[in-house]
A and B are shown apart, each in its own frame.
Chain A
Amino acid sequence: MTDLAESQEPEQAVPLAALFTAFLAVSLCGVGGGGGVVWARRVAVEKRRWLTESEFADIVSLCQFMPGPNIVGIAVCVGAKLRGTIGTIAAVSGFLVIPWVIGISVGLVFLEYAQLTVVRNILGGIAATAAGLLIATGIKLLLPHRRRPTALLFAILAFGLITFAKLPLLAVLFGLAPLSIAIAGSEKTRA
């Protein structure tokens, strides 16, 4: 893809086939838990420029509050934002249909060889890399907020309560979010 094609107007209607293939790619590339966010951001923000960094961060935030596999939620929301109902269907089908068939076939073969050391070592190396990529994605999505000290404070609190205090996700989410929103609200009224 050339640079010209990448910088097209975001107002143009995104073709349904492009939504399908984009989320097909996101799905096939997202290895390991949370990997999907890395690829969804890479495709929707960096490569296709369908969304800005902060529009994407909004969608990820909304999805965190909903039940279900978050990354499917991202496909639902990006599809709905760009093309409405039919866009959601295109994005979700791209995300699920082909990868599911491949995944089931590969997985059933893999289940036979799960005990092999080489297979385990390769998976270990991929997992270590995937962890680093996820950390970088979180930092990139936080960057638009770097000028608000309270934003950084709440990001660090959320990070610390999970990583060091080992509190459950739901407790951190529903404990910090209302507080953070309340403070953002009072900052906005003062400004």
Chain B
Amino acid sequence: MNDPSAPLALTAHLAQVSSISFGGFPTVLPDVRNFVVTTHGWMTDQDFANIFAIAQSIPGPNMILMMSFVGWKVWGFPGAVASAFATFGPSCTIYFASYRLWDRFRDARWQQIARLGLVPVIMGLVIASGMVMARAADTSWPAVAVTTAAASIALATRLSPMWMLLLGGALGGLGLL
């Protein structure tokens, strides 16, 4: 913890996994856990699980926040800032460059075909991650009903999701789920 090289090692590691985290940051979480818990012992497994649960439930860019909490544990406020930059910096640059490249050829025939083939697969994956989240969250039948109701209302109306999230949180807080 007091080793001055610790924040540097963490920042370098996060920057590296950020550049290879295809499919989003959750895919590299097991690797980050190994690095900070097993390899370096900067925190316990319980610390890491708590940080994850909180990052998932507070608003904001949650994976960047999660890594910032990890940085905070290692090196306080500067560690949190360094971890945040390491998490979004490299991938933002890659996003920008690839968007520019993709956009330059947007009327090309190959890209129209790629788009036609790609979008359905990706949307299947988005729906699947909703189902994976539902499996974790829906521990009772009332919770299943809340998930189903939220999906149906969102499909049928243009009601702001905020109302549904507030209602869901209230039902949970009252101990009904």
- Which residues on A are within 8 Å of B, measured CB to CB? 27-34, 36-39, 42, 46, 54, 57-73, 76-77, 80-81, 85, 88, 92, 95-96, 99-100, 102-104, 106-108, 110-111, 114, 118, 121-142, 145, 148, 150-152, 154-159, 162-163, 169-170, 172-173, 176-177, 180-185, 187-188
Contact = CB atoms under 8 A, between A and B. Distances in A.
Interface string B40-54: 000000000011011
B38 interface: no
A29 B163 CA distance: 11
A72 B64 contact: yes
Contacts of A63: 95
B56 interface: yes
B108 interface: no
Nearest to B173: A122
Interface in B15-72: 18-27, 50-51, 53-65, 68-69, 72
Contact of B64 (A69, A106, A137, A184): A69
Contacts, number: 372
Main secondary structure of the interface of A (DSSP, over half): helix
B126 A141 contact: yes
Given A106-B58, A173-B23, A138 B92 contact: no
Given A54-B119, A67-B94, A103-B58, A96 B88 contact: yes
B76 to A, nearest CB: 11
A133 B72 contact: no
Determine which residue in A73, A132, A148, A181 has the highest number of CB atoms from chain B within 10 A of its CB, and name it: A132
Determine which residue in B65, B131, B137 has the highest number of CB atoms from chain A within 10 A of its CB, and name it: B137
Given A29-B162, A158-B121, A128 B128 contact: no
A100 B84 contact: yes
A154 B122 CA distance: 9
A64 B125 contact: yes
Given A67-B18, A72-B92, A132-B149, A107 B58 contact: yes
Contacts of B154: 38, 132-133, 136-137, 140
A149 to B, nearest CB: 11
Interface residues of B, number: 97
A28 B117 contact: no
Interface in B118-171: 118-134, 136-139, 143-144, 146-152, 154-155, 158, 160-162, 164-165, 167-171
A28 B137 CA distance: 21
Contact of A66 (B22, B59, B151): B22
Determine which residue in A64, A67, A70, A157 has the highest number of CB atoms from chain B within 10 A of its CB, and name it: A67
Contacts of B169: 122-123, 125-126, 129
Determine which residue in A72, A104, A128 has the highest number of CB atoms from chain B within 10 A of its CB, and name it: A128
Nearest to A132: B150
B119 A163 contact: no
Contacts of B113: 181, 184-185, 188
Contacts of B164: 129, 132-133
A32 to B, nearest CB: 5
Nearest to A156: B124
A191 B73 CA distance: 59
A168 to B, nearest CB: 8
A161 to B, nearest CB: 8
A181 B57 contact: no
